[in-house]
């Protein structure tokens, strides 16, 4: 009985010691502390006022500056040769085609003979008038007869003038058998066919004068009032090719059906612009003041734009803004932000209203 009791006491003591070792040491260990909260490191920036060029976005067709129609000035003649085709660059006076001139040459020979005959008749009339005048001094011819000789001279002179006029007309017609370019330019169309008998006034070629193409930008009445001659325009051609031009002419009226007007922009000769293309572009207006911030500072949430304003306690507040123009990597703030406020430059997408931040570097203005 005593032995059993002694074993129980020893077991109880062992349990107490074990419990002390387990729970006592655990109690001596320090309580686990929560990890300190970390804040996002950000860079602050201040809105920067600067002059920005204003732009108007427009679209329109590309067309020739001026087109020239080259037609046959004489008719009923066959096209004998063709010396130009579509796309050829030609000079003023260059022969583009010729018409068969055999019949005109024959007519010219006939008129030359008529001139020679009229000249001979005039010479004869003058000789007769001169002899009559000598005879008339003796009284052998009456004044009426002398007047008849003088009238014959005048008639012969008129006949010679008429024959010369007919000869000149024939020679003009002969010159018109050579179809020439009316100006420097590029041939844009050709209706002439070898061997075809043309009528007077029939179009044979069409050309773009000086090879100049222009952009006909379509603008509404509000936009049109801001455009001036000489302003720079930059347009994007199909294929991504950029071309720069100048406003040549602003239409004085709007189309009654579309309520839009055309602004004619001259493009450099030799560019990739081609008549018939359709392009979009921008017309640069006079610069205006813009309050700009880096585009990384603006966050788009729920369809609205926000920036995070940095407070003196290094806490940020989300603030709605209205954005305007964009230029490079900067954006214009139209409303909602004061010039003297500092905002988070980048990383704003990871912030929430009232969040604590660590300022890495502050800059006086947006780059």
pLDDT (0 to 100) of residue 5: 37
The answer to whether domain 42-51+288-362 has CATH 3.40.1260.10 is no
Distance CA 39, CA 42 (A): 9
Q: ∠72-73-77 over CA atoms, to 5°?
A: 65
- The candidate with the shortest Cα–Cα distance to 318, out of 302, 334, 339, 294, is 302
More confident residue, 27 or 282: 282
Instruction: Please report which confidence band the pLDDT of residue 27 belongs to, taking 50, 70 and 90 as the band edges.
Output: very low
Distance CA 139, CA 177 (A): 58
Tell me if residue 267 falls in helix, strand or coil.
coil
pLDDT (0 to 100) of residue 21: 41
CATH 2.40.420.20-classified regions of the chain: 42-51+288-362
Percent of the chain at pLDDT > 90 equals: 49
Burial 244-260 (b: 16+ CB within 10 A, else e): ebebbebbeeeeeeeeb
pLDDT surpasses 70 at 274: yes
pLDDT surpasses 70 at 16: no
CATH 1.10.287-classified regions of the chain: 101-176
More confident residue, 178 or 48: 178
Q: What's the rounded mean pLDDT across residues 139-152?
A: 82
pLDDT (0 to 100) of residue 42: 81
pLDDT (0 to 100) of residue 25: 44
pLDDT (0 to 100) of residue 191: 95
Distance CA 14, CA 11 (A): 5
pLDDT surpasses 70 at 257: yes
Percent of the chain at pLDDT > 70 equals: 87
In this structure, CATH architecture of domain 101-176: Orthogonal Bundle (1.10)
Helix residue spans in 219-359 (DSSP H): 221-224
pLDDT, the chain, mean:
84
CB-based contact 343:45 (threshold 8 Å): yes
Radius of gyration of the chain (CA): 49
pLDDT (0 to 100) of residue 211: 92
pLDDT (0 to 100) of residue 32: 42
pLDDT (0 to 100) of residue 185: 95
In this structure, CATH architecture of domain 58-65+211-284: Beta Barrel (2.40)
Q: What's the rounded mean pLDDT across residues 29-54?
A: 67
pLDDT surpasses 50 at 366: no
Q: What's the rounded mean pLDDT across residues 61-69?
A: 94
- When mean pLDDT is compared across 73-77, 131-135, 332-336, the lowest value belongs to 131-135
pLDDT (0 to 100) of residue 361: 61
CATH 2.40.30.170-classified regions of the chain: 58-65+211-284
In this predicted model, what pLDDT tens digit does every residue of 278-302 receive, in sequence order? Answer: 999 999 888 888 888 988 888 888 8
Q: What's the rounded mean pLDDT across residues 232-241?
A: 89
């Amino acid at each position: 009985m005593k032995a059993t009791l002694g074993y129980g006491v020893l077991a109880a003591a062992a349990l107490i010691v074990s419990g002390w070792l387990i729970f006592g040491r655990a109690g001596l260990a320090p309580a686990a502390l929560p990890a300190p909260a970390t804040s996002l490191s950000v860079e602050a920036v201040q809105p920067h006022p600067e002059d920005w060029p204003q732009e108007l976005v427009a679209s329109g067709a590309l067309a020739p500056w001026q087109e020239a129609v080259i037609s046959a000035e004489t008719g009923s003649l066959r096209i004998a040769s063709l010396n130009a085709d579509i796309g050829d660059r030609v000079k003023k006076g260059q022969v583009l085609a010729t018409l068969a001139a055999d019949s005109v040459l024959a007519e010219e020979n006939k008129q030359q003979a008529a001139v020679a005959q009229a000249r001979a008749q005039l010479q004869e009339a003058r000789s007769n008038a001169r002899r009559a005048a000598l005879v008339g001094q003796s009284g052998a011819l009456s004044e009426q007869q002398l007047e008849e000789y003088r009238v014959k001279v005048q008639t012969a002179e008129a006949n010679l003038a008429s024959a010369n006029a007919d000869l000149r007309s024939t020679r003009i017609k002969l010159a018109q058998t050579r179809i020439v370019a009316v100006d420097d330019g590029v041939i844009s169309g050709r209706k002439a066919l070898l061997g075809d008998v043309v009528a007077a006034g029939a179009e044979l070629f069409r050309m773009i004068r000086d090879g100049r193409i222009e952009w006909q930008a379509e603008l509404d009445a509000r936009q049109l009032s801001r455009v001036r001659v000489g302003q720079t325009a930059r347009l994007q051609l199909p294929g991504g090719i950029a071309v720069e031009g100048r406003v040549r002419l602003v239409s004085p009226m709007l189309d009654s059906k579309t309520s839009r007007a055309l602004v004619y922009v001259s493009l450099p000769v030799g560019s990739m612009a081609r008549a018939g293309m359709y392009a979009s572009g921008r017309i640069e207006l006079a610069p205006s003041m813009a309050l700009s911030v880096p585009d990384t500072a603006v966050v788009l949430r729920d369809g609205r734009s926000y920036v995070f304003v940095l407070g003196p306690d290094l806490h940020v507040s989300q603030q709605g803004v209205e954005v305007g123009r964009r230029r490079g990597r900067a954006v214009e703030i139209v409303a909602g932000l004061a010039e003297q406020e500092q905002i988070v430059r980048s990383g704003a997408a990871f912030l929430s209203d009232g969040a604590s931040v660590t300022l890495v570097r502050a800059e006086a203005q947006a780059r």
